Structure 1
Protein backbone atom coordinates (compact mmCIF):
# COMPACT_ATOMS: atom_id res chain seq x y z
CA UNK A 1 0.00 0.00 0.00
CA UNK A 2 1.33 3.40 -1.03
CA UNK A 3 1.14 5.51 2.12
CA UNK A 4 1.56 8.77 0.23
CA UNK A 5 -1.38 7.85 -2.02
CA UNK A 6 -3.58 7.36 1.04
CA UNK A 7 -2.46 10.71 2.44
CA UNK A 8 -3.33 12.32 -0.90
CA UNK A 9 -6.82 10.82 -0.72
CA UNK A 10 -7.39 12.41 2.67
CA UNK A 11 -6.24 15.73 1.23
CA UNK A 12 -8.85 15.42 -1.53
CA UNK A 13 -11.59 14.93 1.05
CA UNK A 14 -11.30 18.55 2.18
CA UNK A 15 -13.12 19.70 -0.94
CA UNK A 16 -15.65 16.84 -1.20
CA UNK A 17 -17.77 17.49 1.90
CA UNK A 18 -17.08 14.03 3.23
CA UNK A 19 -17.81 15.30 6.74
CA UNK A 20 -21.31 16.39 5.72
CA UNK A 21 -22.10 12.94 4.34
CA UNK A 22 -20.67 11.30 7.46
CA UNK A 23 -22.74 13.50 9.77
CA UNK A 24 -25.85 12.75 7.70
CA UNK A 25 -25.27 9.02 8.08
CA UNK A 26 -24.67 9.27 11.83
CA UNK A 27 -27.74 11.48 12.40
CA UNK A 28 -29.99 9.33 10.21
CA UNK A 29 -29.17 6.10 12.02
CA UNK A 30 -29.32 7.71 15.47
CA UNK A 31 -32.69 9.31 14.71
CA UNK A 32 -34.17 6.02 13.49
CA UNK A 33 -32.85 4.19 16.55
CA UNK A 34 -34.40 6.68 18.98
CA UNK A 35 -37.64 6.81 17.02
CA UNK A 36 -38.05 3.05 17.37
CA UNK A 37 -37.76 3.40 21.14
CA UNK A 38 -40.04 6.43 21.44
CA UNK A 39 -42.91 4.96 19.41
CA UNK A 40 -42.81 1.71 21.35
CA UNK A 41 -45.59 2.03 23.97
CA UNK A 42 -43.97 -0.70 26.08
CA UNK A 43 -40.59 1.00 26.23
CA UNK A 44 -39.28 0.87 29.80
CA UNK A 45 -35.85 2.39 30.49
CA UNK A 46 -35.48 0.09 33.50
CA UNK A 47 -36.24 -3.06 31.51
CA UNK A 48 -33.54 -5.38 30.20
CA UNK A 49 -35.10 -5.00 26.73
CA UNK A 50 -34.56 -1.21 26.64
CA UNK A 51 -31.21 -1.53 24.90
CA UNK A 52 -32.71 -4.10 22.55
CA UNK A 53 -35.13 -1.43 21.32
CA UNK A 54 -32.22 0.80 20.31
CA UNK A 55 -30.33 -2.10 18.75
CA UNK A 56 -33.43 -3.02 16.76
CA UNK A 57 -33.68 0.57 15.56
CA UNK A 58 -30.04 0.57 14.50
CA UNK A 59 -30.50 -2.78 12.78
CA UNK A 60 -33.19 -1.16 10.63
CA UNK A 61 -31.58 2.27 10.30
CA UNK A 62 -28.26 0.96 8.98
CA UNK A 63 -29.67 -0.81 5.89
CA UNK A 64 -32.02 2.09 5.20
CA UNK A 65 -29.34 4.79 5.23
CA UNK A 66 -25.99 3.14 4.57
CA UNK A 67 -26.27 1.78 0.99
CA UNK A 68 -27.15 5.11 -0.62
CA UNK A 69 -24.90 7.31 1.52
CA UNK A 70 -21.93 4.98 1.02
CA UNK A 71 -22.58 5.15 -2.73
CA UNK A 72 -22.62 8.96 -2.56
CA UNK A 73 -19.43 9.00 -0.48
CA UNK A 74 -17.52 6.81 -2.93
CA UNK A 75 -19.00 8.39 -6.05
CA UNK A 76 -17.86 11.89 -5.07
CA UNK A 77 -14.41 10.59 -4.23
CA UNK A 78 -13.91 8.67 -7.48
CA UNK A 79 -15.66 11.08 -9.85
CA UNK A 80 -12.88 13.64 -9.46
CA UNK A 81 -10.52 11.17 -11.15
CA UNK A 82 -12.87 10.84 -14.13
CA UNK A 83 -13.58 14.55 -14.52
CA UNK A 84 -10.04 15.78 -13.85
CA UNK A 85 -8.18 13.08 -15.79
CA UNK A 86 -6.82 11.98 -12.43
CA UNK A 87 -6.19 8.38 -13.49
CA UNK A 88 -3.58 9.50 -16.02
CA UNK A 89 -2.05 12.10 -13.74
CA UNK A 90 -1.65 9.60 -10.93
CA UNK A 91 -0.21 7.01 -13.31
CA UNK A 92 2.51 9.46 -14.38
CA UNK A 93 3.38 9.78 -10.68
CA UNK A 94 3.74 5.99 -10.43
CA UNK A 95 0.34 5.29 -8.85
CA UNK A 96 -1.52 2.83 -11.06
CA UNK A 97 -5.35 2.73 -11.25
CA UNK A 98 -5.53 -0.38 -9.08
CA UNK A 99 -3.24 1.13 -6.45
CA UNK A 100 -5.31 4.30 -6.51
CA UNK A 101 -8.51 2.30 -5.95
CA UNK A 102 -6.92 0.53 -3.01
CA UNK A 103 -5.74 3.86 -1.59
CA UNK A 104 -9.25 5.26 -1.93
CA UNK A 105 -10.70 2.23 -0.17
CA UNK A 106 -8.19 2.54 2.68
CA UNK A 107 -8.86 6.25 3.19
CA UNK A 108 -12.63 5.91 2.90
CA UNK A 109 -12.54 2.77 5.05
CA UNK A 110 -11.01 4.78 7.89
CA UNK A 111 -13.82 7.32 7.46
CA UNK A 112 -16.44 4.56 7.52
CA UNK A 113 -14.83 3.11 10.65
CA UNK A 114 -15.12 6.52 12.35
CA UNK A 115 -18.73 6.90 11.19
CA UNK A 116 -19.69 3.44 12.46
CA UNK A 117 -18.07 4.06 15.84
CA UNK A 118 -19.74 7.48 16.07
CA UNK A 119 -23.14 5.97 15.30
CA UNK A 120 -22.85 3.36 18.02
CA UNK A 121 -21.43 5.81 20.57
CA UNK A 122 -24.09 8.43 19.88
CA UNK A 123 -26.94 5.91 20.12
CA UNK A 124 -25.51 4.68 23.42
CA UNK A 125 -25.19 8.21 24.82
CA UNK A 126 -28.66 9.26 23.73
CA UNK A 127 -30.11 6.08 25.16
CA UNK A 128 -28.31 6.67 28.45
CA UNK A 129 -28.77 10.43 28.76
CA UNK A 130 -31.96 11.22 26.85
CA UNK A 131 -33.96 8.00 27.12
CA UNK A 132 -32.72 7.42 30.67
CA UNK A 133 -31.98 3.73 30.24
CA UNK A 134 -30.71 2.27 33.49
CA UNK A 135 -30.62 -1.40 32.50
CA UNK A 136 -27.19 -3.02 32.12
CA UNK A 137 -25.65 -2.57 28.69
CA UNK A 138 -25.20 -5.82 26.69
CA UNK A 139 -21.61 -4.87 25.93
CA UNK A 140 -20.47 -8.04 24.15
CA UNK A 141 -23.55 -8.26 21.94
CA UNK A 142 -23.40 -4.56 21.06
CA UNK A 143 -19.68 -4.77 20.23
CA UNK A 144 -20.32 -7.80 18.03
CA UNK A 145 -23.09 -5.91 16.23
CA UNK A 146 -20.78 -2.94 15.63
CA UNK A 147 -18.06 -5.19 14.18
CA UNK A 148 -20.53 -7.00 11.91
CA UNK A 149 -22.05 -3.75 10.64
CA UNK A 150 -18.59 -2.32 10.02
CA UNK A 151 -17.63 -5.43 8.05
CA UNK A 152 -20.72 -5.21 5.82
CA UNK A 153 -20.22 -1.46 5.35
CA UNK A 154 -16.63 -2.03 4.20
CA UNK A 155 -17.69 -4.72 1.75
CA UNK A 156 -20.32 -2.41 0.25
CA UNK A 157 -17.72 0.36 0.19
CA UNK A 158 -15.30 -1.84 -1.78
CA UNK A 159 -18.05 -2.76 -4.23
CA UNK A 160 -18.79 0.89 -4.91
CA UNK A 161 -15.11 1.76 -5.34
CA UNK A 162 -14.94 -0.82 -8.14
CA UNK A 163 -18.21 0.29 -9.76
CA UNK A 164 -17.39 4.00 -9.59
CA UNK A 165 -13.90 3.41 -10.97
CA UNK A 166 -15.07 1.17 -13.81
CA UNK A 167 -18.15 3.15 -14.90
CA UNK A 168 -17.53 6.81 -15.62
CA UNK A 169 -21.21 7.80 -15.34
CA UNK A 170 -21.67 8.08 -11.57
CA UNK A 171 -25.46 7.91 -11.92
CA UNK A 172 -24.94 4.18 -12.39
CA UNK A 173 -23.14 3.89 -9.06
CA UNK A 174 -25.79 5.97 -7.31
CA UNK A 175 -28.50 3.86 -8.90
CA UNK A 176 -26.82 0.73 -7.55
CA UNK A 177 -26.81 2.36 -4.11
CA UNK A 178 -30.55 3.08 -4.32
CA UNK A 179 -31.31 -0.44 -5.53
CA UNK A 180 -29.06 -1.87 -2.81
CA UNK A 181 -31.38 -0.45 -0.18
CA UNK A 182 -34.11 -2.86 -1.32
CA UNK A 183 -32.32 -6.16 -0.59
CA UNK A 184 -30.78 -4.58 2.52
CA UNK A 185 -34.25 -3.94 3.98
CA UNK A 186 -36.28 -6.72 2.39
CA UNK A 187 -33.80 -9.43 3.39
CA UNK A 188 -34.79 -8.86 7.01
CA UNK A 189 -38.13 -10.50 6.27
CA UNK A 190 -36.82 -13.23 3.98
CA UNK A 191 -35.29 -16.64 4.76
CA UNK A 192 -31.67 -16.50 5.88
CA UNK A 193 -30.50 -18.22 2.70
CA UNK A 194 -31.88 -15.34 0.61
CA UNK A 195 -29.87 -12.81 2.60
CA UNK A 196 -26.66 -14.46 1.40
CA UNK A 197 -27.38 -13.67 -2.26
CA UNK A 198 -26.28 -10.02 -2.26
CA UNK A 199 -23.75 -8.02 -0.20
CA UNK A 200 -26.59 -5.79 1.06
CA UNK A 201 -28.49 -8.81 2.33
CA UNK A 202 -25.81 -9.29 4.97
CA UNK A 203 -27.20 -6.29 6.85
CA UNK A 204 -30.03 -8.66 7.79
CA UNK A 205 -27.51 -11.20 9.07
CA UNK A 206 -26.04 -8.49 11.30
CA UNK A 207 -29.33 -7.67 13.02
CA UNK A 208 -28.79 -7.45 16.76
CA UNK A 209 -32.42 -7.36 17.92
CA UNK A 210 -35.96 -7.53 16.56
CA UNK A 211 -39.57 -8.09 17.53
CA UNK A 212 -40.75 -11.59 18.35
CA UNK A 213 -44.43 -11.24 19.06
CA UNK A 214 -44.78 -8.14 21.21
CA UNK A 215 -41.32 -8.35 22.77
CA UNK A 216 -38.01 -7.09 21.44
CA UNK A 217 -35.37 -9.77 21.86
CA UNK A 218 -31.67 -10.02 20.98
CA UNK A 219 -30.83 -12.02 17.85
CA UNK A 220 -27.77 -14.18 17.23
CA UNK A 221 -25.27 -12.53 14.90
CA UNK A 222 -24.15 -14.53 11.84
CA UNK A 223 -20.41 -14.26 12.49
CA UNK A 224 -19.36 -17.15 10.18
CA UNK A 225 -21.36 -15.83 7.21
CA UNK A 226 -20.12 -12.27 7.62
CA UNK A 227 -16.52 -13.45 8.07
CA UNK A 228 -16.83 -15.49 4.86
CA UNK A 229 -18.22 -12.45 3.06
CA UNK A 230 -15.23 -10.35 4.14
CA UNK A 231 -12.73 -12.96 2.96
CA UNK A 232 -14.40 -13.41 -0.44
CA UNK A 233 -14.88 -9.66 -0.92
CA UNK A 234 -11.25 -8.91 0.00
CA UNK A 235 -9.98 -11.50 -2.47
CA UNK A 236 -12.22 -10.26 -5.27
CA UNK A 237 -11.34 -6.62 -4.59
CA UNK A 238 -7.64 -7.39 -4.79
CA UNK A 239 -8.02 -9.45 -7.98
CA UNK A 240 -10.17 -6.81 -9.71
CA UNK A 241 -7.95 -3.87 -8.78
CA UNK A 242 -4.89 -5.87 -9.77
CA UNK A 243 -6.49 -6.35 -13.19
CA UNK A 244 -6.96 -2.57 -13.37
CA UNK A 245 -3.17 -2.33 -13.07
CA UNK A 246 -2.61 -4.94 -15.76
CA UNK A 247 -5.06 -3.29 -18.14
CA UNK A 248 -3.30 0.02 -17.69
CA UNK A 249 0.01 -1.59 -18.41
Structure 2
Protein backbone atom coordinates (compact mmCIF):
# COMPACT_ATOMS: atom_id res chain seq x y z
CA UNK A 1 0.00 0.00 0.00
CA UNK A 2 2.86 2.41 0.77
CA UNK A 3 4.42 1.79 -2.65
CA UNK A 4 1.07 2.44 -4.35
CA UNK A 5 0.65 5.67 -2.38
CA UNK A 6 4.12 6.76 -3.47
CA UNK A 7 3.20 6.15 -7.12
CA UNK A 8 0.29 8.56 -6.81
CA UNK A 9 2.45 11.08 -4.97
CA UNK A 10 4.99 10.98 -7.79
CA UNK A 11 2.19 11.81 -10.24
CA UNK A 12 0.79 14.77 -8.33
CA UNK A 13 2.54 17.37 -10.51
CA UNK A 14 2.07 15.62 -13.83
CA UNK A 15 -1.63 16.56 -14.13
CA UNK A 16 -2.54 13.11 -15.44
CA UNK A 17 -6.00 13.27 -13.90
CA UNK A 18 -6.67 16.55 -15.69
CA UNK A 19 -5.45 15.06 -18.97
CA UNK A 20 -7.73 12.03 -18.57
CA UNK A 21 -10.70 14.26 -17.73
CA UNK A 22 -10.13 16.43 -20.80
CA UNK A 23 -9.74 13.40 -23.08
CA UNK A 24 -12.93 11.87 -21.67
CA UNK A 25 -14.75 15.18 -21.99
CA UNK A 26 -13.95 15.34 -25.69
CA UNK A 27 -14.92 11.70 -26.27
CA UNK A 28 -18.14 11.91 -24.28
CA UNK A 29 -19.27 15.16 -25.91
CA UNK A 30 -18.44 13.79 -29.35
CA UNK A 31 -20.35 10.57 -28.67
CA UNK A 32 -23.42 12.29 -27.19
CA UNK A 33 -23.55 14.74 -30.08
CA UNK A 34 -23.40 11.87 -32.58
CA UNK A 35 -26.14 9.97 -30.71
CA UNK A 36 -28.35 13.07 -30.53
CA UNK A 37 -28.06 13.60 -34.28
CA UNK A 38 -28.77 9.91 -34.92
CA UNK A 39 -31.84 9.89 -32.66
CA UNK A 40 -33.22 13.02 -34.33
CA UNK A 41 -33.18 11.12 -37.62
CA UNK A 42 -34.28 7.77 -36.16
CA UNK A 43 -36.39 8.49 -33.06
CA UNK A 44 -37.45 4.85 -32.81
CA UNK A 45 -33.90 3.73 -31.90
CA UNK A 46 -33.13 2.81 -28.32
CA UNK A 47 -31.29 5.83 -26.95
CA UNK A 48 -29.14 4.27 -24.22
CA UNK A 49 -28.23 1.36 -26.46
CA UNK A 50 -27.05 3.75 -29.14
CA UNK A 51 -25.04 5.67 -26.53
CA UNK A 52 -23.28 2.55 -25.25
CA UNK A 53 -22.44 1.32 -28.76
CA UNK A 54 -21.11 4.73 -29.78
CA UNK A 55 -18.92 5.09 -26.71
CA UNK A 56 -17.65 1.50 -27.02
CA UNK A 57 -16.65 2.20 -30.61
CA UNK A 58 -14.91 5.45 -29.70
CA UNK A 59 -13.17 3.77 -26.76
CA UNK A 60 -11.28 1.66 -29.28
CA UNK A 61 -9.63 4.89 -30.45
CA UNK A 62 -9.34 6.94 -27.27
CA UNK A 63 -8.55 4.46 -24.48
CA UNK A 64 -5.48 2.83 -26.13
CA UNK A 65 -3.97 6.29 -26.59
CA UNK A 66 -4.85 7.38 -23.05
CA UNK A 67 -3.47 4.09 -21.68
CA UNK A 68 -0.18 4.60 -23.51
CA UNK A 69 0.20 8.16 -22.20
CA UNK A 70 -0.70 7.20 -18.62
CA UNK A 71 1.63 4.21 -18.47
CA UNK A 72 4.41 6.13 -20.18
CA UNK A 73 4.22 8.88 -17.56
CA UNK A 74 4.06 6.37 -14.71
CA UNK A 75 7.04 4.31 -15.93
CA UNK A 76 9.19 7.11 -17.33
CA UNK A 77 9.77 8.52 -13.84
CA UNK A 78 12.00 5.60 -12.86
CA UNK A 79 14.26 6.08 -15.87
CA UNK A 80 14.47 9.87 -15.64
CA UNK A 81 15.17 9.75 -11.92
CA UNK A 82 17.36 6.62 -12.23
CA UNK A 83 15.56 5.23 -9.19
CA UNK A 84 15.70 1.50 -9.90
CA UNK A 85 19.06 1.13 -8.16
CA UNK A 86 17.85 3.27 -5.28
CA UNK A 87 14.75 1.13 -4.82
CA UNK A 88 16.81 -2.05 -4.73
CA UNK A 89 19.27 -0.52 -2.28
CA UNK A 90 16.42 -0.07 0.23
CA UNK A 91 15.22 -3.65 -0.33
CA UNK A 92 12.15 -2.78 -2.39
CA UNK A 93 11.40 -5.60 -4.79
CA UNK A 94 11.03 -4.55 -8.43
CA UNK A 95 8.00 -6.84 -8.68
CA UNK A 96 6.25 -4.83 -5.95
CA UNK A 97 6.99 -1.57 -7.75
CA UNK A 98 5.75 -3.12 -11.00
CA UNK A 99 2.49 -4.19 -9.33
CA UNK A 100 2.01 -0.75 -7.79
CA UNK A 101 2.46 0.95 -11.16
CA UNK A 102 -0.01 -1.44 -12.79
CA UNK A 103 -2.62 -0.87 -10.06
CA UNK A 104 -2.07 2.88 -10.27
CA UNK A 105 -2.67 2.85 -14.02
CA UNK A 106 -5.82 0.76 -13.63
CA UNK A 107 -7.26 3.08 -11.00
CA UNK A 108 -6.71 6.09 -13.26
CA UNK A 109 -8.36 4.38 -16.24
CA UNK A 110 -11.22 3.12 -14.05
CA UNK A 111 -11.86 6.77 -13.23
CA UNK A 112 -12.18 7.47 -16.98
CA UNK A 113 -14.61 4.58 -17.50
CA UNK A 114 -16.74 5.59 -14.52
CA UNK A 115 -17.00 9.09 -16.02
CA UNK A 116 -18.42 7.49 -19.14
CA UNK A 117 -20.93 5.45 -17.15
CA UNK A 118 -22.08 8.57 -15.30
CA UNK A 119 -22.46 10.40 -18.62
CA UNK A 120 -24.54 7.54 -20.05
CA UNK A 121 -26.83 7.52 -17.00
CA UNK A 122 -27.30 11.31 -17.01
CA UNK A 123 -27.89 11.43 -20.77
CA UNK A 124 -30.51 8.67 -20.50
CA UNK A 125 -32.34 10.37 -17.63
CA UNK A 126 -32.29 13.84 -19.20
CA UNK A 127 -33.69 12.57 -22.50
CA UNK A 128 -36.28 10.33 -20.82
CA UNK A 129 -35.84 7.38 -23.15
CA UNK A 130 -38.85 5.05 -23.42
CA UNK A 131 -36.84 2.11 -22.10
CA UNK A 132 -35.03 2.84 -18.84
CA UNK A 133 -31.33 2.04 -18.61
CA UNK A 134 -30.85 -1.14 -16.51
CA UNK A 135 -28.14 -0.85 -13.87
CA UNK A 136 -26.96 -4.37 -14.76
CA UNK A 137 -26.18 -3.25 -18.33
CA UNK A 138 -24.26 -0.25 -17.07
CA UNK A 139 -22.21 -2.47 -14.76
CA UNK A 140 -21.53 -4.90 -17.61
CA UNK A 141 -20.35 -1.97 -19.72
CA UNK A 142 -17.95 -0.86 -16.99
CA UNK A 143 -16.71 -4.42 -16.44
CA UNK A 144 -16.14 -5.25 -20.10
CA UNK A 145 -14.46 -1.93 -20.86
CA UNK A 146 -12.23 -2.19 -17.80
CA UNK A 147 -11.23 -5.76 -18.58
CA UNK A 148 -9.81 -5.01 -22.02
CA UNK A 149 -8.26 -1.81 -20.66
CA UNK A 150 -6.41 -3.91 -18.08
CA UNK A 151 -5.02 -5.99 -20.94
CA UNK A 152 -3.86 -2.94 -22.86
CA UNK A 153 -2.33 -1.41 -19.73
CA UNK A 154 -0.39 -4.62 -19.06
CA UNK A 155 1.01 -4.48 -22.60
CA UNK A 156 1.78 -0.77 -22.41
CA UNK A 157 3.55 -1.13 -19.08
CA UNK A 158 5.69 -3.93 -20.46
CA UNK A 159 6.70 -1.85 -23.48
CA UNK A 160 7.22 1.31 -21.41
CA UNK A 161 9.70 -0.50 -19.16
CA UNK A 162 11.27 -2.45 -22.02
CA UNK A 163 12.40 0.72 -23.82
CA UNK A 164 13.76 3.80 -22.07
CA UNK A 165 12.62 5.92 -25.01
CA UNK A 166 8.87 6.27 -24.46
CA UNK A 167 8.28 7.04 -28.12
CA UNK A 168 7.88 3.30 -28.75
CA UNK A 169 5.15 2.98 -26.13
CA UNK A 170 3.31 6.09 -27.34
CA UNK A 171 3.48 4.91 -30.97
CA UNK A 172 2.05 1.55 -29.90
CA UNK A 173 -0.87 3.37 -28.29
CA UNK A 174 -1.58 5.34 -31.48
CA UNK A 175 -1.28 2.23 -33.66
CA UNK A 176 -3.56 0.40 -31.22
CA UNK A 177 -6.13 3.20 -31.45
CA UNK A 178 -6.10 3.01 -35.24
CA UNK A 179 -6.43 -0.80 -35.23
CA UNK A 180 -9.16 -0.58 -32.61
CA UNK A 181 -11.25 1.79 -34.70
CA UNK A 182 -10.82 -0.24 -37.88
CA UNK A 183 -10.77 -3.70 -36.28
CA UNK A 184 -14.44 -4.44 -36.95
CA UNK A 185 -13.77 -4.16 -40.69
CA UNK A 186 -11.20 -6.98 -40.60
CA UNK A 187 -12.12 -10.66 -41.10
CA UNK A 188 -13.13 -12.36 -37.86
CA UNK A 189 -9.95 -14.47 -37.62
CA UNK A 190 -7.82 -11.30 -37.78
CA UNK A 191 -10.09 -9.39 -35.43
CA UNK A 192 -9.49 -11.96 -32.71
CA UNK A 193 -5.79 -11.06 -32.50
CA UNK A 194 -6.37 -7.30 -32.49
CA UNK A 195 -6.91 -6.82 -28.77
CA UNK A 196 -7.70 -3.11 -29.17
CA UNK A 197 -10.86 -3.99 -31.10
CA UNK A 198 -12.30 -5.94 -28.15
CA UNK A 199 -13.96 -2.80 -26.76
CA UNK A 200 -16.91 -3.41 -29.07
CA UNK A 201 -16.74 -7.18 -28.64
CA UNK A 202 -17.03 -6.95 -24.85
CA UNK A 203 -19.77 -4.34 -24.94
CA UNK A 204 -23.16 -5.56 -23.60
CA UNK A 205 -24.87 -3.93 -26.60
CA UNK A 206 -24.23 -4.77 -30.24
CA UNK A 207 -25.16 -3.01 -33.47
CA UNK A 208 -26.58 -4.89 -36.45
CA UNK A 209 -27.18 -3.56 -39.95
CA UNK A 210 -30.12 -5.08 -41.84
CA UNK A 211 -32.13 -3.78 -44.79
CA UNK A 212 -30.31 -0.44 -44.80
CA UNK A 213 -31.26 0.16 -41.17
CA UNK A 214 -29.51 -0.08 -37.83
CA UNK A 215 -30.68 -2.28 -34.96
CA UNK A 216 -29.32 -2.37 -31.43
CA UNK A 217 -29.49 -5.63 -29.50
CA UNK A 218 -28.32 -6.91 -26.14
CA UNK A 219 -25.37 -9.23 -26.61
CA UNK A 220 -25.16 -12.61 -24.93
CA UNK A 221 -21.79 -12.42 -23.22
CA UNK A 222 -19.36 -15.12 -24.34
CA UNK A 223 -17.49 -16.41 -21.29
CA UNK A 224 -14.79 -17.78 -23.59
CA UNK A 225 -13.86 -14.29 -24.80
CA UNK A 226 -13.55 -13.06 -21.22
CA UNK A 227 -11.35 -16.03 -20.36
CA UNK A 228 -9.07 -15.36 -23.35
CA UNK A 229 -8.74 -11.67 -22.47
CA UNK A 230 -7.88 -12.50 -18.85
CA UNK A 231 -5.28 -15.03 -20.01
CA UNK A 232 -3.68 -12.50 -22.37
CA UNK A 233 -3.58 -9.96 -19.55
CA UNK A 234 -1.79 -12.42 -17.27
CA UNK A 235 0.74 -13.24 -20.00
CA UNK A 236 1.52 -9.56 -20.65
CA UNK A 237 1.80 -8.84 -16.94
CA UNK A 238 4.09 -11.78 -16.20
CA UNK A 239 6.28 -10.98 -19.22
CA UNK A 240 6.73 -7.37 -18.14
CA UNK A 241 7.24 -8.24 -14.48
CA UNK A 242 9.85 -10.85 -15.38
CA UNK A 243 11.73 -8.34 -17.53
CA UNK A 244 11.88 -5.79 -14.72
CA UNK A 245 12.98 -8.39 -12.17
CA UNK A 246 15.79 -9.69 -14.44
CA UNK A 247 17.07 -6.47 -15.98
CA UNK A 248 20.60 -5.33 -15.24
CA UNK A 249 20.74 -2.16 -13.24
Pick aligned residue for 1:77 from 67, 74, 79: 74
Pick aligned residue for 1:57 from 43, 50, 54: 54
1:203 aligned to 2:199? yes
Matched residue, 1:12: 10
CA-to-partner distance for each residue in 1:134-164, whole Å, 9 max, x for gaps? 4221433332222111100111011111111
2:71 and 2:231 map into 1 onto residues whose CA distance is 21
Matched residue, 1:177: 173
TM-score computed with the length of structure 1 as normaliser = 0.88
Shift of 1:13: 1.8
1:188 aligned to 2:187? no
TM-score computed with the length of structure 2 as normaliser = 0.88
Count of matched residue pairs: 244
Matched residue, 2:63: 66
1:26 and 1:230 map into 2 onto residues whose CA distance is 25
1:215 match: secondary structure: strand
1:39 match: secondary structure: helix
Matched residue, 2:98: 101
On the 8 A contact 1:99/1:245 being kept in 2, the answer is: no
Unaligned runs of 5+ in 2: none
Shift of 1:48: 6.4
Matched residue, 1:233: 233
Shift of 1:122: 1.6
Shift of 1:211: 4.4
Matched residue, 2:214: 215
On the 8 A contact 1:116/1:146 being kept in 2, the answer is: yes
The 10-residue stretch of structure 1 (232-241 or 159-168) with the greater mean CA deviation from structure 2: 232-241
Pick aligned residue for 1:159 from 149, 155, 161: 155
Pick aligned residue for 2:34 from 28, 33, 36: 36
Shift of 1:223: 3.9
